[in-house]
Amino acid sequence: MPATLKSLAVIGPADSDALTGVAGSTYVDPGTWTTPLQAVKSRAGGTVTVTHAQGTTGDIPLPAVPASVLRTTGGTVGLTGRYYASAQPTGTPAVTRTDSVIDFTSAPVESLPAVWSATWSGTLTPTHTGLHRFSLLLAGTATLKINGVTVVSGSRGTRRFFLGTHDYPIQGTIELTAGQTATIEITYSNSGADPDPAGRPACGLTLGWQPASLIPAAVQAARTADAAVVFVNRMAGEAMDHEQLTLPGDQNQLITAVAAVNPRTIVVLNTDGPVAMPWLNDVEAVIQAWYGGRGMGTALAAVLFGDSDPSGRLPVTFPVGPAQGPGTTPATYPGTNATVSYAEGTAIGYRFYDAKGQQPLFPFGHGLSYTTFAHGSLEAAYDATAKSVTVSVTVTNNGNRQGTDIVQIYATLPAAAAAEQRRLVAFRKLTLAPGAGRRITFTIPTDDLTVWSNGAWTLVPGLYALATARNSRAMTAQRTVTIN
């Protein structure tokens, strides 16, 4: 943060609702911890006024839509539910009745078989004008349509994984007008849900909503601040897949609205992986926080105020959109007739983008620093006795402050190897004072340069190119060695 900063708006789930981990392998119970909001306020001290506006509740289930706003076509309170004794809601319903709300965790009709489906239809009369959020918390598959428009659609194996404290909703938004009746239709099937303790497919569905948007208040807070930091998040855990790259709920709308009134907007992505960033060119910076655990608040405040150099680098590739990367066809994900085609072969991760000539949003290994580094005086040599290649490079901090660089080494194999375009074979992190330089040497075993051929790992003779790089797409210097 610059010394001229006098006021800062922190927006989004940045307090006790910040995600430190969600479920399964990502779950972290932080115990007593310093939240990002608390850490920012502490670091700001008395020199910067910090305000907080919620803006969004993030990726969480919403309160159930109340019966008071729902009507059947005949005017009865609630919606018309039609239950089917099959995985798809076709044919003659087994039961037709009026349900006041859609909120259940066991089969609402006792006579239904283990696998069943249902539809609910009627009207919804909004209580507010503006952006409305809707969520479906479910085990199975469901779709919500309002005025014939699909607002939410997707599936979940379970509403909550056995480790963690968070439920897994799917969300969407739509603009509605207070008092203007809208048609509503929900389709549900518990086919594909995880089994319950009795071995039957689980079931459950909660139709939730947030009729009053929190975005206007956040926009006002951002408009009157020197800078804004927007926290957004996405749930993730075992037994669930993301069916799209879009940030859940109203979070993209929040970022766009805040950036429109404050050009000095920083976005903190508290997510498990890549998300689409339609607002990227409208914000000053993006910090990928992942799930930071107990120390995330203190760490984020240190990076935001410039006390620490951001020294992380992306361990995955961030695609521009859903058409990039592997697994973008129905055959490769989610598969056809319970069969998944593993079409990428050895072109895993960044190698796939290279093989297909796709320019990602952010490449594997990407990450910026508060200073700049130069990679120079590169040397490479092959040692046949040691069966290794050594690469030496001088790294210099060209900036006016201390910073951390992660030097990455990529290898390009001979054409006869028929290998990927480039392969990460080494990396090292080093921190340098302003103006300082250091020579570092990497030793790369030739085993790391082999390919699988005719049932064995083979070192193909020929010309090998070794390059220093900032990421998988930004080579800084290159040398070649011949391996015989």
Say if residue 119 is in the same domain as residue 179. yes
Select from 156, 183, 210 the last residue of a domain: 210
Say if residue 47 is in the same domain as residue 76. no
Amino acid 364 reads F
Say if residue 454 is in the same domain as residue 475. yes
Say if residue 196 is in the same domain as residue 230. no
Taken in order 394, 400, 404, 408, the sign of the CA dihedral is negative
More reliable by pLDDT, 284 or 19: 284
- Residue from 408, 411, 413, 443 nearest 428 by CA: 408
* Two tokens, residue 352: 């796939």
What's the pLDDT band for 293 if we cut at 50, 70, 90? confident
- Region 122-138: mean pLDDT is 97
- Predicted confidence (pLDDT) per residue in 245-284, tens digit: 999 999 999 999 999 999 999 999 999 999 999 999 999 9
Say if residue 34 is in the same domain as residue 140. no
364 lies in a domain?
no
163 pLDDT more than 70: no
Residue 230 pLDDT:
98
Residue 321 pLDDT:
92
The proportion of the chain whose per-residue pLDDT surpasses 70, expressed as a percent, equals 98
Taken in order 373, 377, 382, 388, the sign of the CA dihedral is negative
Mean pLDDT for the chain overall: 94
12 lies in a domain?
yes
- Region 239-243: mean pLDDT is 76
420 pLDDT more than 90: yes
Other C-beta atoms closer than 10 Å to the C-beta of 435 total: 10
How far CA 51 is from CA of 4, 10, 213, 380, in Å, comes to 17, 6, 19, 53
2 lies in a domain?
no
**How crowded is the C-beta side of 221, counted as CA atoms within 13 Å?**
23
Which one-letter DSSP state was computed for residue 271? Answer: S
24 lies in a domain?
yes
Which one-letter DSSP state was computed for residue 361? Answer: S
The proportion of the chain whose per-residue pLDDT surpasses 90, expressed as a percent, equals 85
What's the pLDDT band for 334 if we cut at 50, 70, 90? confident
Residue 2 pLDDT:
67
216 pLDDT more than 80: yes
- Region 33-46: mean pLDDT is 96
Cα–Cα distance for residue pair 166/156, rounded to 1 Å: 14
**Which residue in the block uniquely carries the two structure tokens 């995330």?**
296
Say if residue 278 is in the same domain as residue 407. no
Please give the radius of gyration of the chain, using alpha carbons only, rounded to the nearest integer: 27
CATH number at residue 187: 2.60.120.260
Q: Count of domains in the chain?
A: 3
* Two tokens, residue 92: 């003659």
235 pLDDT more than 90: no
Say if residue 233 is in the same domain as residue 176. no
- Region 331-340: mean pLDDT is 88
Cα–chain center distance at 73: 40
Residue 162 pLDDT:
62
Cβ neighbors of 148 (< 8 A, separation 6 or more) are: 183
386 pLDDT more than 80: yes
Select from 266, 284, 308 the last residue of a domain: 308
Residue 300 pLDDT:
97
265 lies in a domain?
yes
Cα–Cα distance for residue pair 258/51, rounded to 1 Å: 14
Say if residue 78 is in the same domain as residue 187. yes
Q: Domain of residue 98: give its range.
A: 67-210
| 91-100, 335-344, 379-388, 463-472, range with the lowest pLDDT | 335-344
236 lies in a domain?
yes
CATH number at residue 28: 3.40.50.1700
| 220-224, 343-347, 397-401, 408-412, range with the lowest pLDDT | 343-347
Select from 170, 190, 210 the last residue of a domain: 210
- Predicted confidence (pLDDT) per residue in 389-414, tens digit: 999 999 999 999 999 999 999 999 99
- Region 232-257: mean pLDDT is 89
- Region 420-433: mean pLDDT is 97
- Residue from 33, 73, 70, 61 nearest 293 by CA: 33
What's the pLDDT band for 97 if we cut at 50, 70, 90? very high
Say if residue 388 is in the same domain as residue 458. yes
> In 3-state terms, the chain is what percent helix, strand and coil (to 5)?
15, 40, 50
Q: Please, what's the b/e burial string for 288-318 (b: 16 or more CB within 10 A of its CB; e: otherwise)? A: bbbbbebebbbbbbbbbbeebbbebbbeebb
Cα–Cα distance for residue pair 143/205, rounded to 1 Å: 11
CATH number at residue 442: 2.60.40.10
β-sheet with 437-445: strand ranges across: 373-383, 388-397, 437-445
**Which residue in the block uniquely carries the two structure tokens 């909703």?**
169
Say if residue 145 is in the same domain as residue 198. yes
- Region 104-120: mean pLDDT is 95
Cβ neighbors of 165 (< 8 A, separation 6 or more) are: none
Say if residue 404 is in the same domain as residue 285. no
At 84, phi and psi to the nearest 5?
-125, 140
Say if residue 105 is in the same domain as residue 186. yes
123 lies in a domain?
yes
- Residue from 463, 383, 382, 380 nearest 419 by CA: 463
334 lies in a domain?
no
Cα–chain center distance at 364: 15
Per the CB < 8 A criterion, the answer to whether 53 and 221 are in contact is yes
